[in-house]
Structure 1
Amino acid sequence: MYKYKPTNVVHERAFEGYDGLQLPRSPRTYLDGFASEFSDIDRRTKLYHFGFLATRGVDFYQDLRDNIDEKMADPRYHGYEDAARNAFVGYLEELCGEDDRYNHQSFEALYHLLVTELKVRYYEYEDCDSHEKCYAFK
């Protein structure tokens, strides 16, 4: 008999950090479209990471902001905040569809908009065949 294994399983332990729940990957993985680690995981998985934290009330903005500020201090990364904004525009378009208003908002505004959308759209459920906790988006 074939054992069904869903691909959207929630891995809670991946989010455990020294100071509580946190993103399972480095901030650059989510922000820098030019970094090799950015393409290590797809947008849907990144939305899952954000949704997992957002629905548990974890504010991960400062971790992302600190990474942006650190990179922007180096002249080689002068466009890093724009890259981060573009990444978040992509996440919002993946989740909600295209909208020109995303292009004119700050990174902080995009972060808060994404978190708000994820609190409405992200949910977890038990898969009836595998009995594993899975995630999906409305």
Structure 2
Amino acid sequence: MKRLACLLLAGTAIVVSDGCTQPGRPYAADVDPQGWRAGAVLTLPNDDTLAMYDLEIFLRCNDRFAEDTLTLRIETITPDSLHVEEFLHVPFPQSHTPAAVARETRIPYRRRVLLRQCGDYRMILTPTRPVRGVEAVGATLQTTP
């Protein structure tokens, strides 16, 4: 009877913990919420050169964030030092949440990305102008089926 109870408890713990996991692998960096202007460096390690990923950019903002759009410069550096730079326009829809609740905006960046090299890919996210109220920025890699 004890063994059956332990097995049921272990099975329940696995099911409950599986529901709490986040999809994908998030990578984030804190930025200065008083005035973010410097690049935030994200390191995305890769050891699977055959997997396809969807890449999403996210920003976590506090109640001092008052922008309706933000343009980010995204620099990507591959493990063999190839350097690519582009801009991403991020819209922020109006939201009416309590001041104590931080806002998080997620925007799709790339779909079906193939990271062809093993090693660390670095992404540097920099606003094109100083912005107040952003606490953290990041990227999430989600394996595509």
Q: Which has the larger radius of gyration?
A: 2
Is the strand fraction higher in 1 or 2? Answer: 2
Provide the TM-score with structure 1 as the length reference. 0.25
The structure with higher relative contact order (CA 8 Å, sep 6+) is 2
Provide the TM-score with structure 2 as the length reference. 0.25
Is the helix fraction higher in 1 or 2? Answer: 1
